[in-house]
Amino acid sequence: MTVPEYSKLLTGDKPDKRLMISLPKNAGRNNTGRITMRHQGAGNKRAYRLVDFVAVDKMNVPAKVETVEYDPYRTAFIMKLVYRDGERRYALAPSDIKKGDVLLTAETAPVAPGNRMKLRNIPVGQSVFNVELNPGKGGQIIRSAGSFAKVQAQDAGYTYLKLSSGEVRKVLWDCFATIGQVSNPDWRLVVIGKAGRARGMNIRPTVRGSAMNPVDHPYGGGEGRQPRGTRKPKDIWGNITGGRKTRNKKKWSNVVIVERRNKKKK
């Protein structure tokens, strides 16, 4: 089992209760009580931090980093900003951010980690994260720990971004993005190590289909260990999973994808 050394990464301050709310637990169930997301339940009690992904109403108002904190609802760290007008907000923390740094959100800002500006004003080759897909809607992609995208080109109202998956897509260059890489890049090296830790993270056990009864899974039944008994791999509902394309051919974002992501080598 491995754990990040938070004492060197975080400031150690307690979270701001004014910027926290309590979210109800649903254990993966919808409004009718049916499970729509499997393997969820239990978990430690936690409070949701109100993270600002937009910051458009704070244009040209400098903000000072007051704290760098842990967020139980996401893999990345968050930072508490104190704006010049005295307001405090949480935002996604870039890698290597320090307490006391001054950040700025503007149409054109210095190219420094944590500053937020329009994609059209970001130089080619620069790393960005927390990118908007629609102007003014707030960052929607590239928000998990250690992730970033590279600005590849600026052309005809669009900025070409190369994502970590290898996909190249066009985004309207009037959308805002934050300079740098998302904090906590070592998150991918963490080893959960034991089942009890996973339960505390709201993760319930996953049972093999071959260990179920025939009524519960296409692989179920038989005496002792049995092969799956079906030609193609299937999920618990009998849908084919191995090699079948699942992307909708009429999905709206097809027109903005310039190059598909890299396929896994067999």
Q: Which pLDDT score, from 0 to 100, does residue 4 have?
A: 83
Q: Provide the token pair at 159.
A: 């900025």
Q: Which pLDDT score, from 0 to 100, does residue 266 have?
A: 56
3-class secondary-structure state, position 197: helix
Q: DSSP label at 80? A: E
pLDDT in tens, the chain (266 residues): 998 888 888 987 889 999 999 999 999 999 999 999 999 998 999 999 999 999 888 899 999 999 999 999 999 999 999 999 999 999 999 998 999 999 999 989 899 999 999 999 999 999 999 999 999 899 999 999 999 999 999 998 999 999 999 999 999 999 999 999 999 999 999 999 999 999 999 999 999 999 999 999 999 999 999 999 889 999 999 999 888 888 899 999 999 999 998 876 65
Q: Which pLDDT score, from 0 to 100, does residue 263 have?
A: 76
Closest CA relative to residue 91, chosen from 221, 193, 178, 18:
178
Q: Provide the token pair at 253.
A: 């974002």
Q: Which pLDDT score, from 0 to 100, does residue 245 have?
A: 85
Q: Which residues pair with 257 in a beta bridge?
A: 169
Q: Provide the token pair at 126.
A: 């620069």
Long-range CB contacts for residues 153-162, cutoff 8 Å, separation at least 24? 153/124, 154/119, 154/120, 154/124, 158/256, 159/119, 159/120, 159/122, 160/258, 161/119, 161/128, 161/131
Q: Provide the token pair at 261.
A: 């992501």
Predicted TM-score (pTM) of the model is 0.87
The amino acid sitting at 94 is P
Q: Which pLDDT score, from 0 to 100, does residue 48 have?
A: 96
Count other C-beta atoms under 10 Å from residue 115's C-beta. Answer: 19
Q: Which pLDDT score, from 0 to 100, does residue 189 have?
A: 93
Query: How many helices and strands (H and E) does the chain possess?
Result: 2, 15
Q: Which pLDDT score, from 0 to 100, does residue 171 have?
A: 94
Residues in CB range of 67: below 8 A, 6 or more apart: 10, 11, 13, 79, 80, 99
Q: What is the Cα–Cα distance from 220 to 126, expressed in whole angstroms? A: 51
3-class secondary-structure state, position 241: coil
Q: Which pLDDT score, from 0 to 100, does residue 265 have?
A: 65
- Please give the domain boundaries of the chain with CATH numbers for all domains: 6-186 (2.40.50.140), 207-261 (4.10.950.10)
Q: DSSP label at 152? A: E
